[in-house]
Amino acid sequence: MTDQTIQPRVAIAGLSLRALLMPFPIACFSGALLTDITYAQTAVIQWANFSAWLLAVGMLTGGIAFLFGLIDLFFGDWRRRSELVWARVGVVVVLLAVALVNNFVHARDGWTSVVPTGLTLSVVTVLLMMVSGVLGELNARRAGGVA
């Protein structure tokens, strides 16, 4: 039986750094959506501050994970690439762009930092994360597994 796994190029003890970093932006962007919803319901400004910090950390860790993913993509096994990989890269680029705009919106003061634009962008960010996850899972199934 041949090895059907994709070997990461940037790894620590065989664990992909991209895969190790991915939980952070997922948690941060999801948490930002929850804190945006809470702020819209309560108008307690601290929730907007939480959102801004969660978005900033999510962008930082997501950007680093994306760079490691690009290294794995361009320096990995070219036979493993499919249209799903390129679709996922496109979705992640759009996701990071929307998250960046959301960071700028959350930098405003008061109610307008979240409602309605910031909350809408947080929803779009989480939806794009879901699409990216589905594309990643479909690609992993097609490739036969991920190391």
pLDDT digits (tens, 9 = 90+) for 21-62: 999 999 999 999 999 999 999 999 999 999 999 999 999 999
pTM: 0.89
Residue 4 lies in a domain: no
Residue 6 lies in a domain: no
Residue 113 lies in a domain: yes
- What is the percent of the chain where pLDDT is above 70? 91
- N-to-C CA span, the chain: 16
Residue 1 · residue 63 · CB < 8 Å: no
Residue 55 lies in a domain: yes
Of the pLDDT bands very low, low, confident and very high (cuts 50, 70, 90), residue 140 is confident
Residue 88's domain comprises: 11-143
